Structure 1
Amino acid sequence: MMPWLARSIYRAQEAALKRPTFAYWQALERSQWLDRAAVEALQARKLNALLGVALAHSPWHAARIRAAGLHEAVRAGELPLADLARLPTMTKRDARDNVDQLVWRGVPGGAFRYNTGGSSGEPLIFHFGRARQASDAAGRMRARNWWGVAPGEREAYLWGAPVELNKTDRIKTLRDRLVNQLVLNAFAMSAPHMDDYLAALQAWQPKCLYGYASSVALLAAHAEARGIKPRLTALRVVCTTGEPLYPHQRELIGRVFGVPVANEFGSRDIGFTAHEAPGGQMLLLSESHIVEVLDEAGQPVAPGEAGEAVITGLSSAAQPFIRYRTGDVLRLAPDAATGGQGLHVIAEVSGRQTDFVLAADGRVMHALAVIYVLRATPGVAQFKCVQHAVDRMEVQIVTDAQWNAAAGAAVVAGLRARLGEGVAIELKLLDTIPPEASGKHRYVVSHVPLPAGLMVTA
């Protein structure tokens, strides 16, 4: 599809779905050139609008706003940005336990239900609206533009896919191709499939390759082990997501594909948050997010120090995320953006780390392949999957009131659909799931080594 036609189809799709994606993208292209003070003034206006929505439509937030004595300033639209810190922080458990008191179901365009796993394997059901969807898409469009990839130009995605495509999935596949997006399944990365992926990339000639950091690194390692040097003459950038991008992965991907590698930061619940720009700085989508960095006592850290990212999503009206504790550790940089933007700069992110899992037939899958099964099952409050062998997986589960025998059967069936019908699935129902010895939570751990030639190590 010619880029102008693919862009027109995408614009028409967004308009039909009442998503203001293109209008927001054009606004972002302008607002990034505001100075820092003007960017923060824009944040303050959007914050007052969000808190006004929360006061009117989210009783749980409204009670906290009133208790903090901020309601009059919010009603007047005059709350200073600094006063946001007078509100208590919001946890994932708060979001889980108070859904009905948080969601604004009458939000323009509708509220859409979604579920996601967290860094500790705690599934979360939340809702988002058209504005959040537009923010995510427009933020990525602007970030791609930094690297010379315009909307409608060819992109390839190394992404998760369902076990079996239903009618909706097939329609989405057609839609992807109409807007110049090729999707390769990161949940089926056997050696023959990766050979096919490299051939597909060569035929497709994308300007951007986007995918889970570890999966893109795995594909690069496979190409190098095979002695394949992809000839992707149109490629401008490889964009990675979903987990930390380690220096050895960045070097490997850049060496194999011959272009810069740019990482992004975000999550399903808070949305697309930041992206690396040419020059190496990670720039915050400041027009859509306010980021605070707090210590263990909930106090702001000194400039440049690391702490927990506490984020307010300025486009989260459908279910407001206000001072939301993400569990990610980051450092904000006091520096200005070297590209001249007024956006805030993130110096470092220490996010979630996941392992690959292997199926008996040789497929290598990103951890999300099994995470999708657990997070979609009612009754699972927290989980951890430990793959001991290609034919044996232990599943630790902390249950809630919705758990029953049918839920257990659904977990077993779902994992066998991914890993193979002969896999032994051992369910362990626990009161708590302890962290690793390092103190970190990992929701998928595999003790099965990758095949020779695919190890991506420092």
Structure 2
Amino acid sequence: MSLPARLVSDALFPLHERLMGRPTFTYLDELERSQWLPRDEIESLQARKLGSLLRTAHAHSPWFAQRIDEAGLDPHGREMALVDLLKLPTMDKADARAHRDEIVWRDAPGGVFPYNTGGSSGVPLSFYFGRARQASDAAGRMRARRWWGVEVGEREVYLWGAPVELNKTDVVKVVRDRLLNQLVLNAFNMSEAAMDGYLDAIRAYRPACVYGYASSIALLAAHAQDRGADMRLPTLKVVCTTGEPLFEHQRELIGSVFGVPVANEFGSRDIGFTAHETPEGQMLLISESIVLEVLDAQGQPVASGETGEAVMTGLCSEGQPFIRYRTGDVLRLSAEACRAGRGLHVIDQVAGRQTDFVVRSDGTVMHALAVIYVLRAVDGIKQFKCIQHAPDVIEVQVVPDRAWSPEREAQIVTGLRARLGADLRVECRLLDEIPPEASGKHRYVVSHVALAPRLQSATGGTA
């Protein structure tokens, strides 16, 4: 089932966002205008939004109010400048975890909503976001889709995480997605039979855009190639990948199978939608929503063209402010301007973290987030890492916090067996710390189970 795109874009989608209390389409209109401002005017806009955020944080977030006062800033007394950010200390995931209740503004307009993320380092984080942040994410993606000629309301296929069994809320979401011309396919079930069905569903649905985890779309493309399936649809304009690095050979594989350009996206659960690739081959920051700093190991700004850690301030994060937040992602800003004439900041290179697949004993391939979702829903976990040694054996390393109890281990076992099969042997190990990989990266899922040779072209190199 699909509906006329104009009906969705002009009526159903705006109505849905109004009913949800999200100013998505108002913000989209603003973004369409502001992207063409000169860089200095965009940075002036950032400064004004930063002042508003600091005033809100000072009034409603005691933890930030203390930091702002100690930095000698008076957001109520004068206009803020972007350089004022440097007077504030950075924050990290541990700060967000430990001080959440002193940071969140529970009475933010429209309310705040809880969210959990495993994070790239495998350190779970529970936080809150508000309607402005939701609108920023949605409007930013809509604008980025338009760069590729995909209008709001055109059919999209999402290769995305989905629950094992649908409850009433999930059924409502499925109906909502279809009314908004969005077809969601389950990236947590990538068996051969499921992928055959996905290829048929995509051909029948005739989307303008396919969107999903980079590794999952690459896996589906490898399967289509193995099957000799023709996925070059006349309606398809772009394949958008997200959630992890997109390796060049994955881009080539996806592009050759679907016959359209592949655009990568950069973002995170805690900060939100951050940047998207343009048809000119550049990654543009959603500068109206995020201030991006690139810092060295000592916390100082790197020189132009140098690589460092991405430290972000979410300008729409008033529900639970993220101000000078150390993301753990490594990137480099470009001195080059947008080739299409936009004033948005250009990201030259993003070094993310690879996500492995996990494999059920029946051969079904699942995105590693299927495992992440189980672990991040369990209280009492400070940090975790899952290592799949065999299709029916998985090791779970846990650094517990004070909320840990023996019942948590049973919850992990039950959740993982629901994902990977009732015969799964779960070896749970409690540790004081989880060391990084030899590369220095913290990988939250590692699988030693080889994919079938015909599908190995979908995966990236070792992290």
Which category of TM-score, normalised to the shorter sequence, fits these structures? Answer: over 0.9
Confirm or deny: 8 A CA contact 1:115 1:376 kept in the other structure: yes
Task: Name the CA distance, whole Å, in 1 between partners of 2:137 and 2:182.
Answer: 17
Aligned to 1:4: 6
Instruction: Tell me how large the CA RMSD over aligned residues is.
Output: 0.8
Task: Name the CA distance, whole Å, in 2 between partners of 1:247 and 1:176.
Answer: 31
Among 35, 40, 54, the residue aligned to 1:37: 40
Confirm or deny: 8 A CA contact 2:232 2:257 kept in the other structure: no
Task: Name the CA distance, whole Å, in 2 between partners of 1:88 and 1:427.
Answer: 37
Task: Name the CA distance, whole Å, in 1 between partners of 2:152 and 2:265.
Answer: 18
Secondary structure class of the residue paired with 2:222: helix
Confirm or deny: 8 A CA contact 2:284 2:346 kept in the other structure: yes
Task: Name the CA distance, whole Å, in 2 between partners of 1:6 and 1:195.
Answer: 29
* Counterpart residue identity of residue 25, structure 1: L
Question: What count of residue pairs does the alignment treat as equivalent?
Answer: 456
Give the Å deviation of 1:225: 1.1
Aligned to 1:25: 28
For the pair 1:156 / 2:157, whether they are aligned, the reply is yes
Task: Name the CA distance, whole Å, in 2 between partners of 1:131 and 1:10.
Answer: 17
Task: Name the CA distance, whole Å, in 1 between partners of 2:294 and 2:231.
Answer: 41
Aligned to 1:230: 231
* Counterpart residue identity of residue 183, structure 2: L
Give the Å deviation of 1:230: 1.1
The runs of 4+ residues in structure 1 deviating greater than 2 Å are none
Aligned to 1:66: 69
Aligned to 2:456: 455
Task: Name the CA distance, whole Å, in 1 between partners of 2:324 and 2:411.
Answer: 35
Q: Deviations over 1:16-68 (max 9, x none)?
A: 11100000001100000100000000000000000000100001011011101
Secondary structure class of the residue paired with 1:454: helix
Confirm or deny: 8 A CA contact 1:212 1:241 kept in the other structure: yes
Q: Deviations over 1:81-116 (max 9, x none)?
A: 111111000010000000110000010000111110
Confirm or deny: 8 A CA contact 1:333 1:345 kept in the other structure: yes
Q: Deviations over 1:209-236 (max 9, x none)?
A: 0000000000000111111121311000
Task: Name the CA distance, whole Å, in 2 between partners of 1:82 and 1:439.
Answer: 31
Aligned to 2:345: 344
For residues 12 and 77 of structure 1, do their structure 2 counterparts lie closer, same or farther at Cα, with a shift above 3 Å needed? farther
Secondary structure class of the residue paired with 2:455: coil
Q: Which runs of 5+ in 1 are unaligned?
A: none
Please give the residue correspondences for 1:218-257 in structure 2 after superposition, counting only pairs within 5 Å.
Answer: 218-257=219-258
Task: Name the CA distance, whole Å, in 1 between partners of 2:126 and 2:353.
Answer: 19
Aligned to 1:442: 443
Task: Name the CA distance, whole Å, in 1 between partners of 2:204 and 2:150.
Answer: 18
Aligned to 2:54: 51
Give the Å deviation of 1:279: 0.8
Confirm or deny: 8 A CA contact 1:289 1:311 kept in the other structure: yes
TM-score in terms of structure 1 length: 0.99
Confirm or deny: 8 A CA contact 2:120 2:442 kept in the other structure: yes
Q: Deviations over 1:280-308 (max 9, x none)?
A: 00000000000000000101101111100
Q: Which runs of 5+ in 2 are unaligned?
A: none
Give the Å deviation of 1:452: 2.7
Q: Deviations over 1:339-360 (max 9, x none)?
A: 1100000001011211000001
Confirm or deny: 8 A CA contact 1:370 1:418 kept in the other structure: yes
Please give the residue correspondences for 1:351-390 in structure 2 after superposition, counting only pairs within 5 Å.
Answer: 351-390=352-391
Secondary structure class of the residue paired with 2:265: strand
* Counterpart residue identity of residue 399, structure 1: P
Task: Name the CA distance, whole Å, in 1 between partners of 2:185 and 2:20.
Answer: 25
* Identity across matched positions, percent: 66
